[in-house]
Structure 1
Amino acid sequence: MRSRILSWLAAITATMPLIVSAPAEAVPPSLLPLTVTNNSNRADQVYLYVLGGYNGRLGYVNAAGQFTAWSGGAIPPSPAPDASIPGPAGGGSKTLNIPRNLSSGRLYMSFGEKLKFFLTPDGLVQPAPWNPSDPNRNILFDWSEFTYNDGGLWLNSSQVDMFAVPHAVEVTNTAGATKREGELKAGGRNNFFAALRGQPGDWPKLIQTRGDGTVVRALAPRLGIESGLFGNTYFDGYTTEVWNTYKNTTLTVVPIRENTAIKFFGRTDSAGVMQFTNTAGARVASVQRPSTRDVFGCDGRLGAPNSDTGLITRSLCAALHRSTLGYLHTQPTYNAAEFYTRAVTDHYSRKIHEQMVDGKAYGFSFDDVGNFESLVHDPNPRSARVILTPF
């Protein structure tokens, strides 16, 4: 239970892209219209939820854009107030209003049944369908993530925890230009699940199907490990090989594509620790060989603090997921044709990217390394959309 009792902010910022409040040409509107369009071809009632942080408090937003902070909570967790908003019927749309300065937000969408949220004195207990006892386990649902502030709107679809409901995200700016990401190819959802079922090993175990035969989701491997469904040594042989490679070869990390003067150089020492120096020769980071769980979670020994260490570990984690580390000795790399080409790789992320129209997805936490994530951003948004695409 403790792993589910998280403050809202801590729980979701771990999977959000790095966001910097860049100056906009003008302050965005106090309420941003976000329209949810239901092209799913499903007859189920859709329910929407807008949750996030506002002026230092955590809570939910109604369709008009009014924020209400969570309050109360108990042990055992008590039911949270019903924050659901009736969503659009098939072929229809529903416009919500997002208040400026709503941060680390989630737009949940569920089909056929409302989600169950709970409160403790420490914060919100979110749906955790990887837990067999979670009351949301058999509900078909998913979410988008966003932050809206003076720097504009950041909006992304995410498969970091799971893949369930295909949806695209859009932002239109004041000049009328629209950016769109996260759109699956026709039949992409079914093709993804079929491909995952056909992948040798533990990968098919990540798929969850409820009693009526509906495939409700695939869990990310990190959560598969936590649920006992996926082997916790999957990457161990590969990471051992990589750390050994850099005993005799230098790894160069150039973490900022727009500033190639920032470089770090890594070699594995006699104790098996990869030591990194900067261009001046000063040691800036020491990275021990990560566990399989560290790789899939992009945390633990690959955690990314706001420092030189974080710049390095983000690049390492992305390269391990994409199975380029140990083979391409300058990281990160930007040629997607070189990703996921080896037997030991993140097949979950690979198969999601393969089903996207433009190849972009959020298959793991640091999929934004190289800008391969399904994110739209504009400093001067006029409106936004989330489109539930056919499945």
Structure 2
Amino acid sequence: MAPRHQRPLGRRRLLLALGGAAVAVPAAATLAPYALADTSAAGDASVAAGPLPLTIVNDSGSFGNASVHLYIVGNQDGRQVRVTPDGTLAPIAVSDNGSDGFTDYAISLAGSGETRLSLPYMSGRIYVSLGEKLKFKAVTDGNGNAALQYPAGWVTSDPNYPVLHDCAEFTYNASGMFCNTTMVDMFSVPMSIRLTGAKDQSTGRLRAGGRADAFAAVRQVEQFAPLVVDDRRLIAPGHGLDAGLFAKDYLAPYIDEVWSTYTGRDLTVTTNAGTFTGRVRGDRFTFDGPAQVSFAKPSTRDVLFCDGNLAAPNDGTTGPVAAVLGAGFNRSTLLSHPAQPTTDAGTFYRTDLTNHYAKAMHAATADGKAYGFAFDDVADFASYIQDTAPTGITLTLTPFEG
């Protein structure tokens, strides 16, 4: 199997748009272009049977089952849906809003022990909130269809800003289960995923004390310290930039140095399409190889969101090169390694000017894998697992402390 950064970039779409419906979000909120799994079953005879047993385990040590509220929301066949406690899909409906203007799609955990549910085919997110319920609002989108406004924990005006919450992402269909824990937007609640089937895999678990260490690591870097919201969450620097909490030109010196360095030398980027060789010509970084692709100089925001001048179209050429460049900028390896992508994690985040948020996320996990930015799956460093013949999935709220 080819490395994930060398596979098609269909996974590099917003997860919740895979079902064909646009997600309604608060006007101030944006969702990052998550790096997702190639869910094609080509060349694999396995077919996932549905529905899939889903087990929720509360090992948080800080919140009892009665204080944990679960939400499974997303898309199926172009419509926005939610999972009910009995495992069936229900369409989102504006009439679901209560007198307070919000839906109550919460699924309660069992009184004690594990909670066993059933997951139908869909693409979506499993949200957990602790202590308080989340406020999801059903609205009508631009096409007249019912849609949800999702929590935006990085927006102070969002009604869910005070609530301790987080989510995992998944796509489950006949091709299999493709899932991840994500810190692309923010980090708050430590959780892990175990996926059984053709293999027994897990991802996302923090090492002992990892949550506290991540908060401390972000707090101790002056430019990143404003991203720490009490002991509630860490906000990703891209969202911090949009909120005025993070410098818009933070990465400019590094970006300028990359542009200057590769005016006089080559940078090679290897993808499944072949090897691309690039230099800065004029004001663009131009690569020759299987096809010619070029990029205007990105801004700090472009790098943090892996978007704008580093956007990755699903074209098999520009997209994969953009993804590798985005990873190289965030990991600050482009100057030290003229052959990309780099696969030695020991070389990542070694400069003072780097994505210290993503660095902290990786340092906090037991296996060193995390989704600290949208293209963190380049060279397989994301907290992502997949199985084409899954038999069960377990989401565990892992300890807040110790």
Common topology (TM > 0.5): yes
Structure 1 residue 80: Cα displacement? 4.4
Distance verdict in 2 for CA 1:331–1:88, change over 3 Å = farther
User: Is residue 39–residue 390 contact of structure 1 (8 Å, CA) maintained in 2?
Assistant: yes
Moved >4 Å (runs of 4+): 9-13
Structure 1 residue 12: Cα displacement? 6.0
Per-residue CA distance 1:180-209 (angstroms, 9 max, x = gap) = 11110011101111121112x221110112
Equivalent residue, structure 1, for 2:51: 31
Structure 1 residue 72: Cα displacement? 3.2
Equivalent residue, structure 2, for 1:212: none
Structure 1 residue 9: Cα displacement? 8.6
Distance verdict in 2 for CA 1:9–1:338, change over 3 Å = farther
Pair 1:61 & 2:77 matched? no
Equivalent residue, structure 2, for 1:81: 103
Distance verdict in 2 for CA 1:73–1:338, change over 3 Å = farther
Pair 1:354 & 2:363 matched? yes
Per-residue CA distance 1:20-69 (angstroms, 9 max, x = gap) = 22255443222101111000001351000001111221121113221111
Equivalent residue, structure 2, for 1:3: none
Per-residue CA distance 1:214-258 (angstroms, 9 max, x = gap) = x110000001001111111001110010011111101111023xx
What amino acid maps onto 1:360 in structure 2? K
Distance verdict in 2 for CA 1:81–1:9, change over 3 Å = closer
Pair 1:41 & 2:57 matched? no
User: Is residue 279–residue 286 contact of structure 2 (8 Å, CA) maintained in 1?
Assistant: yes
Residue identity (%): 40
Structure 1 residue 13: Cα displacement? 7.9
More deviation, 128-137/141-150: 128-137
Q: Out of 340, 345, 353, which is 1:331 matched to?
A: 340
Equivalent residue, structure 1, for 2:179: 155
Equivalent residue, structure 1, for 2:155: 131
User: Is residue 9–residue 52 contact of structure 1 (8 Å, CA) maintained in 2?
Assistant: no
User: Is residue 193–residue 396 contact of structure 2 (8 Å, CA) maintained in 1?
Assistant: yes
Equivalent residue, structure 2, for 1:275: 286
Matches within 5 A, 1:98-137: 98-100=119-121, 102-103=122-123, 105-122=124-141, 123-137=147-161
The count of residues paired between Structure 1 and Structure 2 equals 364
Equivalent residue, structure 2, for 1:14: 33
More deviation, 365-374/113-122: 113-122
* CA–CA separation in structure 2 for the residues paired with 1:193 and 1:217: 8
What amino acid maps onto 1:339 in structure 2? F
Structure 2: tracts of 5 or more residues without a match: 1-20, 142-146
* CA–CA separation in structure 2 for the residues paired with 1:278 and 1:251: 12
Pair 1:389 & 2:389 matched? no
Distance verdict in 2 for CA 1:13–1:290, change over 3 Å = closer
* CA–CA separation in structure 1 for the residues paired with 2:255 and 2:271: 20
Per-residue CA distance 1:235-286 (angstroms, 9 max, x = gap) = 1110010011111101111023xxxx7111111012x21111115xx5x212
What amino acid maps onto 1:71 in structure 2? A
Distance verdict in 2 for CA 1:89–1:184, change over 3 Å = farther
* CA–CA separation in structure 1 for the residues paired with 2:110 and 2:182: 21
* CA–CA separation in structure 1 for the residues paired with 2:350 and 2:63: 39
Cα RMSD after superposing both structures: 2.0
Distance verdict in 2 for CA 1:73–1:124, change over 3 Å = farther
Pair 1:252 & 2:268 matched? yes
Equivalent residue, structure 1, for 2:319: 310
User: Is residue 21–residue 149 contact of structure 1 (8 Å, CA) maintained in 2?
Assistant: no
TM-score normalised by structure 2 residue count: 0.86
What secondary structure sits across from 1:109 in the alignment? strand
* CA–CA separation in structure 1 for the residues paired with 2:102 and 2:177: 28
What amino acid maps onto 1:39 in structure 2? D
User: Is residue 103–residue 135 contact of structure 2 (8 Å, CA) maintained in 1?
Assistant: no
Matches within 5 A, 1:234-249: 234-249=250-265
Per-residue CA distance 1:298-356 (angstroms, 9 max, x = gap) = 00000000121111110000000000012211111101111110111111001110111
What amino acid maps onto 2:71 in structure 1? Y
User: Is residue 207–residue 366 contact of structure 2 (8 Å, CA) maintained in 1?
Assistant: yes
TM-score normalised by structure 1 residue count: 0.89
* CA–CA separation in structure 2 for the residues paired with 1:80 and 1:368: 35
Distance verdict in 2 for CA 1:114–1:16, change over 3 Å = farther
User: Is residue 21–residue 151 contact of structure 1 (8 Å, CA) maintained in 2?
Assistant: yes
* CA–CA separation in structure 2 for the residues paired with 1:295 and 1:180: 29
Equivalent residue, structure 2, for 1:289: 297
* CA–CA separation in structure 2 for the residues paired with 1:109 and 1:83: 12
Structure 1 residue 18: Cα displacement? 3.7
Structure 1 residue 161: Cα displacement? 0.3
What amino acid maps onto 1:93 in structure 2? E
Q: Out of 236, 243, 247, which is 1:231 matched to?
A: 247
